[in-house]
């Protein structure tokens, strides 16, 4: 299991024990992270699983492209390091990772 901490906009934190291979979105929702809505269930169609990845953890993520990039653009969220949690799988290298969450997933 991989420890990942999600930080809400108000600074409150939820630490989850994530199974490698699971999407970050599922890891967050299984861990009852309040700031992830994931309205489409991981189909890259809602943009409500946005996370902000600090620079020191971006090596664990591919650059957003295709549907992920389109949904990020549709959400008009231009925050540095924005990604969709449903489009990245948990890997062992994420141990100790801290991710930030938007003030609201609905725009």
Summarize as ranges the residues that interact with ligand FES (CB under 6 A): 25, 38-40, 42-49, 71, 84, 86
Contacts of 99 (CB under 8 A, 6+ apart): 4, 5, 6, 7, 24, 51, 52, 53, 54, 57, 85
Q: Considering the complex, what minimum distance in angstroms separates the CB of residue 73 from ligand FES?
A: 13
CB closer to ligand FES, 30 vs 96: 30
CB closer to ligand FES, 2 vs 71: 71
Give the Cα separation of 73 and 90 in Å (integer): 24
Q: Considering the complex, what minimum distance in angstroms separates the CB of residue 82 from ligand FES?
A: 12
């Amino acid at each position: 299991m991989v420890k990942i901490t999600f930080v809400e906009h108000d600074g409150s934190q939820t630490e989850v024990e994530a199974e490698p291979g699971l999407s970050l979105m599922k890891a967050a929702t299984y861990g009852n992270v309040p700031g992830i809505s994931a309205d489409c269930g991981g189909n890259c169609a809602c943009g409500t699983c946005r996370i902000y990845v600090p620079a020191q953890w971006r090596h664990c993520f591919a650059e957003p492209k295709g549907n992920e990039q389109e949904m990020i653009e549709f959400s008009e969220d231009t925050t540095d390091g924005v990604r969709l949690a449903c489009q990245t799988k948990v890997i062992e290298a994420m141990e100790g990772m801290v991710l930030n969450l938007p003030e609201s997933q609905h725009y």
